[in-house]
Amino acid sequence: MPKQVDHRERRETIARALWRVVERRGATHLTMREVAQEAGISLGQLQHYFGSRAQMLSFAMDFAGEQSARRLGLAMGALGGRPHPRDVLRAMLVEQLPLHADARATSRMSAAYVLEALHDEEVHARARGGLLQGRATVEQLVRQAVADGQLAPDRDPEVETDLLLALTGFATLLELDVVGPDAVLTAVDRHLDRLFAAPGDVGGDVAGR
């Protein structure tokens, strides 16, 4: 089915053009005309693939999600056969943060998408759906860790999941250079160390650090 492949390829080309525009000029002023120009096609051709700005943004977000999942898959592969849930959660969290160029593009796209979601029901539903799915994956990992005795049984999986998701708040602090990459990784590791600390462990700093 070469035609379908072409169609998919063309949409990916457009999504990448959209990312470049977002990376360079921000999503604030993003227009379909500008994306068409960047992708080297006419506005009419672009509109053949996407009926609206929201549809174009949604596809670009889905595609970014696929790329992010692919990177996470590679990171998980590097962790070996039966990785510790702490390492899995760390890989998932770190992938959400703008710590390298690809993740930065995704993170900026995502921030633009959230703003768009506040005023577009369809975008809101899709963005919410993606985040709820991510939240469910994290909660499942936390519950399994409790069942496997890697997490203290008195931890509330829902609260722990929410606190882990909140760490994605580091994205803004990184983008605005308020907290540096090393400090963010230190803080994420400290949070995870405490989460997986044995009961009775104070969870403070290691002596002499």
Q: Name the residues that contact its own copies, by CB under 8 A.
A: 24-28, 30, 108, 111-112, 114-119, 124, 127-128, 131-132, 135, 152, 154-156, 158-159, 162-163, 165-173, 175-179, 183-184, 186-187, 190-191, 194, 199-205, 207, 209
Considering beta carbons, is residue 8 or 128 the nearer one to its own copies? 128
Nearest CB to its own copies, comparing residues 39 and 184: 184
For its own copies, the closer CB: 12 or 34: 34
The smaller minimum CB distance to its own copies, of residues 80 and 177, is found at 177
Query: What span, in angstroms and rounded, lies between the C-alpha atoms of 142 and 164?
Result: 10
Residue 199 Cβ vs its own copies, minimum distance, rounded to whole Å: 5
* Cα gap 142→49, rounded to integer Å: 40
Tokens of 11: 């949409």
Q: Least distance in Å: CB of 137 to its own copies?
A: 13
Min dist. Cβ of residue 74 to its own copies (A) = 25
**Distance of closest approach, residue 151 Cβ to its own copies, in angstroms:** 9
Radius of gyration of the chain (CA): 20
- By beta-carbon proximity to its own copies, the closer residue of 5 and 206 is 206
